[in-house]
Structure 1
Amino acid sequence: MPDLDREGGWLLTLDDTPQSYVDLSDPTHLEFEYTRRLGHLADVLAPEGEPLDALHLGGGALTLPRYLATTRPGSRQLAVEADGPLVELVAEVLPWTGQGIEVAVGDAREHLAQLAPGSWDLVVADVFQGSRTPAHLTSVEFVRLAAGALRPGGAYAANLADGAPLAFAAAQAATVRAVFPHTCLVAEPSVLRGRRFGNLLLIGSDQPLRVDALARRLAADPFPARLVEGPDLRRLVGTATPVTDAEARPSPPPPKGAFSIE
């Protein structure tokens, strides 16, 4: 649907859940809060304007790939989207040709397992079936596949959603920490305090992340987010243990109205 309040703006909604927002006239405009946080991560991964090789698990309307194509010309990007008819619809209404973005239709984990190791600077997992993350994309085995696809110094980022008591988020943080020696979590303070259901971004790398630069960008957002690492992250994880394939479950269903347009 076109955004009547912003020329060039388009909203993609699936099963009554907003999935993507794209501004064709200004691809650097990131409407959704969690997308801006992913954009901030991409901004601090490499010097300004330097191309990145980015793998996007979950395509939607290709908001972040369009952002990177504009802010980092020459970036090599692959988006894997399971919904073939959705890819066709986006190609028809919001075409992306000429931007260096390749789109593959298929299961994110199956496609990830087939990619050459050590070939990406950024791997983003942003896969939802309706409003829930599929179980097979929440396990330590899956995160290890993502880690194997990264170059040294690359970053893995997973967009998840949870609410009080944040049991799913704690288990996912434990899962990412089991694979990456450097891990942080990003979310609004109200989500971290369990006051509302919302998005959380988990970030992992084999090398130290530029957390100070990222935290400054997060704090300057219209809806500021907090970056949690070190002892604070350990406290959030508590007694949670890494999730294996055998025990993996989808993310919790959101309460009605939790994902109104941000």
Structure 2
Amino acid sequence: MSEHVSLEWDERGGVTVHMDGSPQSHVQPDDPTILVFEYVQHLALAIDALPPGPLGVTHVGGAGLTLPRWVEATRPGSPQIVLEPDEALTELVRREVPLPRRHRIRVRPVDGLTGVRALKDDSADVVVTDAYAGGRVPAELVGTAYAREVARVLKPTGLALWNLADEPGMRWVARVVATMSAALPHVAVIATHEVLKGRRFGNSVLLASASPLPVETLRREVARAHLPTGMREDTALTKLVAGAKPFEEKGMQSPPPPETGKWRAR
């Protein structure tokens, strides 16, 4: 087992996967529809806005396999690919928190860019990028090279999602949006109000597609979200991205997370 990975069980039978000392994902084995982390709720919210039925989903980043389990529970029979280079992590999770029977989740031990490059054109309904190293999003997963590969792999009506973490002001997120919108022009950002208003370091979910997003459905889902949540799209997102310079081929890793107990902006 990798030294940087640990599992912490709670009194409700759930388990949190810690990586590099930070909680990475939470799994509720007896009910995978229970999503604890806010950003995972937002990823699920975005997927829920798509038409019903099975979806071909590629996940860049595995950890506890929380979202693949949720997709399998809510859209049974969905063929899913998980790109997770840490084989020890995958082995630990699959041993201690087994996947459901008859699932169609396939884990490949490769990094995100390498794994996405190996996928066929127009082969995915959804590509979810939720990968961190040392608490930061790797640079190669937000550059123009990666954006082109994701756009190639997605079906014409497919949806790309990124879990992004940034400081108050969201200037790094703005650069990611500017980069991805060049390849997938229809974009939106979902996050809690505290994050969108720049009150604290936190996660936001970027949605990007070659086709118009289901904005009205997304607005309804956002309004019903468990935590106070908002969405930036159209002119509000244009304002956020104003002046942001797109990344080049490789991109830039996300800002380091603050020390524990210092999550709020001054």
Give me the TM-score of the superposition, normalised by structure 2: 0.92
1:196 aligns with 2:194: no
Secondary structure at the counterpart of residue 45 of structure 1: coil
The residue number in structure 1 matching 2:158 is 154
How far the C-alpha of 1:221 sits from its partner, in A, is 2.2
Equivalent-residue separation in structure 1 for 2:213 and 2:228 (angstroms): 19
Secondary structure at the counterpart of residue 178 of structure 1: helix
Gaps of 5+ in 2: 1-6
The residue number in structure 1 matching 2:232 is 228
Secondary structure at the counterpart of residue 215 of structure 1: helix
Gaps of 5+ in 1: none
How far the C-alpha of 1:136 sits from its partner, in A, is 0.8
The residue number in structure 1 matching 2:256 is 253
Contact 1:186/1:202 (8 A) holds in 2: yes
Give the partner amino acid of 2:124: W
1:20 aligns with 2:25: yes
88, 91, 96: which one pairs with 1:88? 91
1:127 aligns with 2:128: no
Secondary structure at the counterpart of residue 183 of structure 2: coil
Give the partner amino acid of 1:224: P
How far the C-alpha of 1:42 sits from its partner, in A, is 1.2
Sequence identity percentage: 39
Q: Deviations over 1:49-85 (max 9, x none)?
A: x000000000111101000111101100000101111
Q: Deviations over 1:184-226 (max 9, x none)?
A: 0111121122210000111001111112212222222231211
Superposed, 1:1-262 pairs within 5 Å as: 1-7=7-13, 9-47=14-52, 50-96=53-99, 98-245=102-249, 248-257=251-260
Q: How many residues align?
A: 256
How far the C-alpha of 1:3 sits from its partner, in A, is 3.7
Q: Deviations over 1:63-111 (max 9, x none)?
A: 0100011110110000010111101101110111531100011111011
How far the C-alpha of 1:167 sits from its partner, in A, is 1.4
Q: Please report the RMSD computed on the Cα atoms of aligned residues, expressed in angstroms.
A: 1.5
Specify whether residues 65 and 42 from structure 1 end up closer, same or farther in structure 2 by C-alpha distance, changes over 3 A only. Answer: same
Secondary structure at the counterpart of residue 49 of structure 2: helix
How far the C-alpha of 1:40 sits from its partner, in A, is 1.0
Equivalent-residue separation in structure 2 for 1:131 and 1:75 (angstroms): 29
Secondary structure at the counterpart of residue 207 of structure 2: strand
Equivalent-residue separation in structure 1 for 2:139 and 2:195 (angstroms): 22
